[in-house]
Amino acid sequence: MGVANRRLRAEIYQRIADVPGQIWDDLIAGSHETLSRTFWSVLEASGLNDFEYRYVLFFDEQGQVSTADQNQAGVAA
């Protein structure tokens, strides 16, 4: 079943500290260190360019985190 046919629920967080740690860590396992919670915590605290951060997790109907690349999700790059 493709992403377009699945019902997903989005949870939006304004701080990396609010994102469930185990879920984030599982999603970024094996990725670059710039995706780590520590990196984003430092970046948020820096106040760089007055950015506002948002972290969005998508959950399927069973409550499992669902992933999709930006093309599947219809997000403009």
The three-state DSSP-derived secondary structure of 30-42 is CCCHHHCHHHHHH
Handedness of CA 77, 59, 31, 55 (dihedral sign): positive
pLDDT digit string (tens) for the chain, length 77 residues: 455 667 889 999 999 999 999 999 998 888 889 999 999 999 999 988 888 889 999 998 888 887 654 434 444 33
Residues 6+ apart with CB under 8 A from 6: 60, 61, 66
User: Residue type at 13?
Assistant: Y
Provide the residue range defining the domain that includes 44. 3-73
pLDDT on residue 68: 54
pTM: 0.70
Instruction: Work out how many domains the chain is built from and give that number.
Output: 1
Residues 6+ apart with CB under 8 A from 29: none
